[in-house]
Chain A
Amino acid sequence: MTTSKSDSKIDLPEAPDRRQFIEKATCAVAGVGIAAVAWPFISSMNPADDVLSQSTLEVDLSQIKTGEVKTVEWQGKPVFIFHREPSQISAMQSSTGSDIDPQPDEARVQKPEWLVVIGLCTHLGCVPTKKAEGWFCPCHGSRYDNSGRVLRGPAPKNLYLLPYQFVSTDKLLLGKA
């Protein structure tokens, strides 16, 4: 605590207790309180309970024919659910993508005939379009194969995976492993 010049006319000299324990302790206690009050406000900006409850999504697989891709929205993002043909599966299993982000196909699927990936280009987030060999991003020309692995940039990574589980042979639950 500083004392200003005018103090000397009206103040007694500063207390011999140079440590000023009570002042420092009060500041500390007040500081804890201010931090504690800030927390609810910061927390209120996190997703609310009803948003969090929407964090999983059930998908019915029975209507997706082989060779077809279904796009669903999960946590505000598109998810590609690709029912792969046997020829596509073996082609993907025989390579690890490209040098940009090599990864075996087996590491990207739970069942080989179902590829489930986030449908956003890993470059800047555009939604790629489906082609015969995989996906093509119209924004800057990135290309992905039928396992969602990046073949040509500027995308730096393969299409992102997400947690999911099979609740039955033709029902997926996105968002929970």
Chain B
Amino acid sequence: MSKVIQWIDQRFPLSSFVKHDLVEYPTPRNLSYWWNFGFLAGFVLVLQIITGIFLAMHYKPDASLAFDSVDHIMREVNYGWLIRYMHAVGASAFFAVIYIHMARTLYYGSYRAPRELMWWTGQALLLALMATAFMGYLLPWGQMSFWGAQVITSLFGATPFIGDEIVIWLRGDFAVGDATLTRFFALHYLFPFIICAIVIIHLIALHHVKSSNPSGINLTAKDNIPFHPYFTVKDLFGLGVFLIIYSYFVFFNPEFFIEAENNQPANPLQTPPHIVPEWYFLPFYAILRSVPDLLGGVIAMGLSVMIFAAMPFLDRSKIPGGAKYRPIYRAMFYIFIIDVVVLGYVGTQPLTDLWVIVGQIATVIYFAAFALLPFLSKYEEKQLRKKGLPPVVEELIRCEEQCGCTEPK
């Protein structure tokens, strides 16, 4: 075996890559379990691709056949029910993992210099994932699939001047139909591989700047340990815990994430009483509905997803890394999380007076968190400096100002 590897090594940097980037790769020794979620996201990506490809062996992307083909998979294909439920639960698992991963990044300030490109490739990954999930949801061609797609594609009609043409171009027809379904299938199959490519860029950036860590400041070399075996075993243990939660849903409550309405075939002539997107879109859906004007709502929704990208610029505090030494930032983080949960709940409710008001207040808080950050972060820094910073923090700020960047040694 080692002879084979030697032969390869003369022609391809296999062993040196494995040694440098997987085994000896220096990782801060104090990473907590919040750092497991990047690996989990990669795992769920592979899981979705594999289950998706095996589903595609039996699924028919035609409006007259799609719903029946999903039922065929559930009843007739060997273990078809298992692969289908793995894929459906996997989509929700993907968003759960990604949202926790993002929350970790926000809390610990991992988006700050020199990790801005990681944050922005992450932003691109979030958008690609949302598009993939949206298109995938149409494929079963149930009532909720159809009407969710109908509503969301109509939003593009808010585009000034060419709105109507854009909607028809997107759908390939005057309403969501067979043309829409076929192209969504083609793109749903394609996008995960685009996601893989962006993940590779995301990881190359990571290996250049190395992981941030819970202390919020860059550690010295002696505080790093090799990735293998320490973090390989830690990631695998975290994977075990994840698989337990995931398998509970797949085997004992798989329809938890499937709207009952979606077990009815799409009927273009009858709208369901409540159109609800999947849970992971609910906060953005609530923001969309909070603005009475169509174009305003679409802009607000788009902004609510994109605004994360601005974080490296909005956070103007020189106090390093995240919430640990910053009580105001910490409070804003928790308020933001609670606000997102409230928005999510608002997204499930019909638009009665109460929920409209709650949604609008929650939307204002959402954007206020970002809008106030530049001012509050500067104010907080002033207050903290007056009280006196811990010596470690002083040292790092001094080092940053001297070298101009926070390249870890």
Contact = CB atoms under 8 A, between A and B. Distances in A.
B226 A40 contact: no
Interface in B202-234: 222, 225-226, 228-229
A45 B57 contact: yes
A177 interface: no
A46 B78 contact: yes
Interface string B43-74: 00000001000100110000000000000100
B24 interface: yes
Given A41-B50, A41-B54, A50 B23 contact: no
A48 interface: yes
Contact of B78 (A6, A7, A10, A40): A40
B77 A44 contact: yes
A34 B52 CA distance: 18
B318 interface: no
B19 interface: yes
Given A40-B82, A41-B50, A44-B54, A7 B226 contact: yes
A43 B76 CA distance: 12
Contact of A6 (B24, B29, B72, B80): B24
A4 interface: yes
Contacts of B75: 49
B83 interface: yes
Contacts of A43: 78-79
Contact of A4 (B29, B54, B83, B226): B226
Contacts of B29: 10
Interface in A50-87: 50-51
Given A7-B226, A44-B57, A51-B76, 8 more contacts: A1-B229, A41-B54, A44-B78, A44-B83, A45-B57, A48-B76, A48-B77, A48-B80
A44 B56 CA distance: 11
Rank and list the top 3 A-B pairs by shortest CB-CB distance, nearest first. Answer: A40-B79, A48-B76, A43-B78
A77 B50 CA distance: 32
Nearest to B223: A10
A4 B24 contact: yes
The main secondary structure of chain A at its interface with chain B is: helix
B243 to A, nearest CB: 9
Given A4-B19, A4-B23, A10-B225, A50 B72 contact: yes
Contact of A44 (B24, B80, B225, B228): B80
Contacts of A2: 23
A46 B76 CA distance: 11
B383 to A, nearest CB: 38
Contacts of A45: 54, 57
Contact of B76 (A4, A7, A50): A50
25 contacts: A1-B229, A2-B23, A4-B19, A4-B23, A6-B226, A7-B226, A40-B82, A41-B54, A41-B79, A43-B79, A44-B54, A44-B57, A44-B58, A44-B77, A44-B79, A44-B80, A45-B57, A46-B78, A48-B76, A48-B77, A48-B80, A49-B75, A50-B72, A50-B76, A51-B76
Contacts of A7: 226
A162 B240 CA distance: 50
A44 B58 CA distance: 9
Contact of B83 (A1, A6, A40, A49): A40
| Most chain A beta-carbon neighbours within 10 Å: one of B75, B78, B79, B82 | B78
Nearest to A46: B78
Interface string A35-47: 0000011011110
Contacts of A49: 75-78
B63 to A, nearest CB: 21
A98 B392 CA distance: 95
A93 B50 CA distance: 56
A4 B16 CA distance: 13
A24 to B, nearest CB: 14
A43 B229 CA distance: 35
A34 to B, nearest CB: 12
Interface in A1-39: 1-2, 4, 6-7, 9-10
A43 B24 CA distance: 39
Interface string B321-353: 000000000000000000000000000000000
Given A4-B226, A6-B226, A41 B83 contact: yes
| Most chain A beta-carbon neighbours within 10 Å: one of B19, B57, B226, B228 | B226
Nearest to B78: A43
B150 to A, nearest CB: 32
Contacts of A10: 29, 222, 225
A51 B121 CA distance: 45
Nearest to A30: B236
